[in-house]
């Protein structure tokens, strides 16, 4: 169960490949919001773990990072399913705003967001088709002393 007061969001991330199976459910119970998604291109400067966390950083980063951005309105009583490419290759996040823009001309004030996130724990390594994002398939980094 997740509860976020107005103005509190969710930092950009891809759910850990090695920890969870393919399908992820997010059931929004209360508090509408916009969830944004980003997919970085292979010729981007982006590296795993180097994603901007604030809107200001994001705007500065847009100039040097190549990515596609999509936004989805999640009203109360909506169900979001992440599977395949959306689950394994797209970062998702909820910007830290008190109001969200919907359909380019309407602003909605956020209330307290309450949601359920359901995931199945993975047994064994991930063998997805997205090795560049996958902690099970990326070579381990070694530190030099």
Q: What per-residue confidence (pLDDT) applies to 140? A: 66
Tens of pLDDT, residues 17-58: 999 999 999 999 999 999 999 998 765 444 444 444 445 544
First-residue to last-residue Cα distance in the chain: 43
Task: Tell me the Cα Rg of the chain.
Answer: 16
- In whole angstroms, give the CA distance from residue 81 to residue 106: 25
Between 143 and 104, whose confidence is greater? 104
Task: Give the CA dihedral 95, 101, 107, 108, nearest 10 degrees.
Answer: -40
- In whole angstroms, give the CA distance from residue 130 to residue 30: 33
CATH of domain 2-133: 2.60.120.1520
Q: What per-residue confidence (pLDDT) applies to 75? A: 96
Model confidence at 142: pLDDT above 50: no
For the entire predicted model, the pTM comes to 0.78
Q: What per-residue confidence (pLDDT) applies to 141? A: 53
3-state secondary structure of 87: helix
3-state secondary structure of 113: strand
Domains of the chain, by residue range, sit at: 2-133
Tens of pLDDT, residues 89-132: 999 999 999 999 988 889 999 999 999 999 999 999 999 999 98
């Amino acid at each position: 169960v997740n509860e976020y007061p107005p103005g509190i969001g969710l930092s950009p991330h891809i759910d850990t490949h090695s920890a969870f199976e393919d399908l992820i459910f997010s059931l929004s119970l209360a508090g509408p919001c916009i969830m944004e998604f980003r997919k970085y291109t292979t010729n981007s400067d982006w590296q795993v773990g180097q994603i901007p966390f604030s809107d200001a950083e994001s705007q500065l980063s847009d100039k040097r990072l190549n990515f596609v951005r999509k936004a989805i309105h999640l009203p109360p009583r909506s169900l979001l399913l992440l599977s395949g490419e959306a689950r394994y290759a797209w970062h998702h996040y909820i910007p830290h705003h008190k109001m969200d823009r919907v359909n380019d001309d309407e602003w909605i004030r956020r209330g307290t967001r309450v949601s359920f996130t359901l995931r199945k724990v993975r047994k064994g390594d991930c063998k997805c088709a997205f090795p560049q994002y996958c902690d099970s398939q990326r070579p381990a980094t070694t530190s030099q002393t």
